[in-house]
Amino acid sequence: MLLNLGNPGVNIHITPMYKNYFVASTLLLGTIIGAGIFTLPQVFFRTGLLVGFTYLFVFGVLTAYIHLMYAEVILRTKEEHELAGYTEYYLGVPIGRIVKVTQVLGNAGTLIAYQILGSEFLRLIVPILPRHAESVLFWALGGVGVVFGVGIIAKGELFTNGFMFLIVIAMFIMGLPYLDVLAWHRAITEPFLPYGVVLYALVGQQAVREVISYLRKKKTPVRPMAFVFASFFSVLFCAIFVIATLLLYRGVEPSINVFGPLVSYFPVIGLLGGLLGFANMLDSAWTMGTYFKGVLVNDLRFHKVIAIFLTLIVPLFGSIFLRGKLLWLLGILGGVFAGFEILIILFLWRQARGSASLGGRTPDFSISFSPLFFWIFVLLFGTGLIYKLIHLNA
């Protein structure tokens, strides 16, 4: 592929291999960019940008390593599994069964988060709906994907994320005149508030297998590039989104539905952002709902009808009880469930490397990681998990 940038003497040659890495990285990026980012402006407003961005950049590096570690586990293992399957294979059946349960609970919580945010965005773009009708309508639209399958439409998540990035850039440019409203140094009264929320916003291990499958389909060697690129741009996207939102809110604490209040001052930005946010949540609800149903049927051996019923009923009733607690919910999903999965991936990677012949396959790449840093990772996420379990109501 050859690009000419307007100068006859300046051409950039993009090989198909690098194009494949770019496309593969968007698969992971599309999974990472989801419900979690919409809570970040409110969290960063409360803690101050200095604390918030410290969490964002540190967790950006750490989750990049976690994605690489999980990819290496998959590449080393001849048989194909999901996380629970790899856990049973390397760490034993009892721990694998625990992972199955935590994945079901975590995925259920994620479906509830999509239902809450999707309803908020739908209310924004269709304000004439009767009270609570937006929740029922979003739930019905999500249920269509779960029952009948909308795999082709769900791939539009990459499309909506691309347009969302353009909206965020426009927000940032429009907010530049209000740079003086940014507060980098706030009194640190909630130093642990960003922990679970930021972690939830940056993890995407569910898509690691999809990245590997895509590259293998294209007969392209799996390299760290795709995972690092996705992690870098997820941090960049979150950072720009947070700053742009805080600029346009002009010193007022943002709401969870960040685009709602913007309609009064920036109607085009508010409505387009709400529309794209709604599309993103619906795509994600379809994808996660289908995955959740599959886990219930294939891993927990539920009857298909019961699995569909639970997949439909969990987000609707869960959103009724947790509508005003989205920030708390995402903190639990990140600090407890994502944190636990990260600990599992750390020990999977260690076991897979320590028993090179157990997996039965030579990986396309292998990352170097000091034992000291490994145990620092374990201490960090283990401490975070314990803290969130002790402070479940925080």
Beta bridge partners of 13: 2
| Rounded Cα–Cα distance for residues 29 and 158 (Å) | 8
Q: Which of 52, 38, 58 is nearest to 241 (CA)?
A: 38
Tokens of 105: 């609970």
| Rounded Cα–Cα distance for residues 21 and 275 (Å) | 29
Predicted confidence at residue 7, as pLDDT, reads 47
Predicted confidence at residue 243, as pLDDT, reads 94
Q: How does strand 2-4 pair with strand 11-13?
A: antiparallel
| Rounded Cα–Cα distance for residues 216 and 214 (Å) | 5
Question: Phi, psi (5° rounding) for residue 184?
Answer: -80, -35
Looking up residue 133, the CATH number of its domain turns out to be: 1.20.1740.10
Question: Phi, psi (5° rounding) for residue 2?
Answer: -125, 125
Q: How far is CA 47 from the centre of its chain?
A: 21
Mean pLDDT by 10 residues, the chain (394 residues): 44 61 83 87 91 95 95 89 89 93 92 93 89 90 75 55 85 89 75 92 87 88 90 93 92 88 87 88 83 82 90 92 91 95 95 75 84 93 93 79
Predicted confidence at residue 197, as pLDDT, reads 94
CB 343 within 8 A of CB 381: yes
For residue 159, the enclosing domain spans 2-390
Look at the chain and report how many structural domains it folds into: 1
CB 244 within 8 A of CB 172: yes
Q: What is the pLDDT of residues 157-174, one digit of tens each?
A: 566 777 888 899 999 999
Q: Could you give the count of Cα atoms lying within 13 Å of 380 in the half-sphere of its Cβ?
A: 16
Predicted confidence at residue 35, as pLDDT, reads 84
Tokens of 274: 């709400």
| Rounded Cα–Cα distance for residues 127 and 115 (Å) | 17
